[in-house]
């Protein structure tokens, strides 16, 4: 059982913690916020063992195995390296880093410290998307030729100021990574070239597949993915978290308690196997995402 501490108790942390609680190989050990009152409230609500208001203090806890980082994007690299310095395994909310240089530095340091490091992309690890990837790999819709994936949401007052004026700001970093990650995974090929215009991109892969991804804070979209193969197609609305997809117009449903559990179970399984990098969400997978963003 991998004992996890969650650092950064914002809105997303509630869903992350639910994912940890449902995981069969993880234990919610600690929570940490700059406010001890908030940390204690989370500790009580989710039955964590420890609550901290100091990150360094939590990192010095010898009973802690892994940190799940939920802080703002521009702080990720700093907080990753602090955890690795204390020999803690790390899973970090997307985007893990705001540049390819930063990402390479983090993975190099993880290797030096012999610690596991992974970017948290639940999109890859939901039960539905794992099943779809398996079907595609088995050739059930033939050779994938085209992917279209979009995710847009109107801005709300709850969005933080750093989304606009810090490194890692902007719509592409915030929600654009979902269609990018999804397309990269389902294409299952290295990127050959990217054509990007503001918050859209056309991606050509080495295996011949072409993907169009789009995101926006300003307009509404269907938020649907379409995968077209030589023998059929797959359609899924809200593809980053859904449990239902249409396979050649046939409805497929999977069960899911939390859309975050899959990534957490995968990361913990990697640690239990002694791996320092995920074979699925690897350094290269994270670099390919940043390649589309253009950093």
Scanning 87-238, the segments in alpha helix (DSSP H) are: 100-113, 122-125, 127-137, 162-165, 171, 177-187
Number of compact structural domains in the chain: 2
Q: Model's pTM, two decimal places?
A: 0.94
Write out the residue range of the structural domain in which residue 182 sits.
127-255
If asked whether residues 163 and 181 sit together in one domain, one would say: yes
188 domain-assigned: yes
Per-residue pLDDT at 34 = 94
Residues counted in the chain: 295
Q: Which of 59, 74, 289 is nearest to 194 (CA)?
A: 289
If asked whether residues 117 and 131 sit together in one domain, one would say: no
Per-residue pLDDT at 294 = 86
If asked whether residues 114 and 169 sit together in one domain, one would say: no
CB atoms within 10 A of CB 273: 9
290 domain-assigned: no
- pLDDT per residue as tens, the chain (295 positions): 999 999 999 999 999 999 999 999 999 999 999 999 999 999 999 999 999 999 999 999 999 999 999 999 999 999 999 999 999 999 999 999 999 999 999 999 999 999 999 999 999 999 999 999 999 999 999 999 999 999 998 876 556 555 555 655 688 988 999 999 999 999 999 999 999 988 999 999 999 999 999 999 888 999 999 999 999 999 999 999 999 999 998 999 999 999 999 999 999 999 999 999 999 999 999 999 999 998 7
Q: Which of 285, 7, 235 is nearest to 132 (CA)?
A: 235
**For position 227, which CATH number holds?**
3.30.360.10
DSSP 74: G
Which residues 6+ apart lie within 8 Å of 82 measured at CB?
55, 56, 59
250 domain-assigned: yes
If asked whether residues 133 and 191 sit together in one domain, one would say: yes
If asked whether residues 145 and 206 sit together in one domain, one would say: yes
**Rounded Cα–Cα distance for residues 257 and 27 (Å):** 16
If asked whether residues 74 and 96 sit together in one domain, one would say: yes
Burial class of 130 by CB neighbour count within 10 A (0 to 12, 13 to 18, 19+): middle
249 domain-assigned: yes
């Amino acid at each position: 059982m991998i004992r996890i501490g969650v650092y950064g108790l914002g809105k997303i942390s509630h869903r992350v913690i639910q994912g940890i609680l449902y995981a069969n190989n993880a234990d919610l050990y600690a929570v940490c916020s700059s406010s001890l009152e908030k940390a204690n409230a989370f500790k009580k609500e989710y039955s964590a063992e420890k609550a901290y208001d100091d990150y360094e203090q939590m990192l010095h806890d010898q009973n802690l195995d892994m940190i799940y980082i939920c802080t703002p994007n521009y702080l990720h690299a700093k907080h990753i390296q602090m955890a690795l310095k204390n020999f803690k395994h790390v899973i970090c909310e997307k985007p893990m880093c705001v540049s390819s240089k930063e990402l390479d530095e983090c993975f190099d340091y993880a290797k030096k410290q012999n610690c596991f490091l992974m970017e948290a992309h639940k999109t890859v690890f939901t039960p539905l998307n794992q099943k779809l990837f398996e079907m595609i790999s088995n050739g059930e819709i033939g050779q994938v030729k085209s992917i279209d994936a979009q995710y847009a949401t109107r801005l709300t007052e709850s969005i933080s100021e750093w989304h606009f004026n810090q490194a890692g700001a902007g719509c592409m970093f915030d929600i654009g990574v979902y269609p990018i990650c999804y397309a990269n995974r389902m294409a299952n090929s290295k990127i050959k070239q990217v054509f990007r215009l503001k918050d859209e991109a056309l991606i050509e892969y080495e295996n011949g597949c072409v993907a169009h991804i789009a995101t926006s804070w300003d307009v509404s979209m269907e938020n649907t993915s379409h995968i077209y193969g030589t023998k059929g197609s797959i359609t899924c609305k809200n593809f980053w978290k859904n449990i239902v997809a249409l396979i050649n117009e046939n409805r497929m449903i999977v069960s899911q308690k939390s859309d975050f559990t899959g990534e957490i179970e995968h990361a913990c399984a990697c640690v239990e196997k002694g791996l320092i990098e995920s074979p699925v969400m690897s350094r290269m997978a994270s670099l390919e995402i940043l390649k589309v963003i253009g950093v």
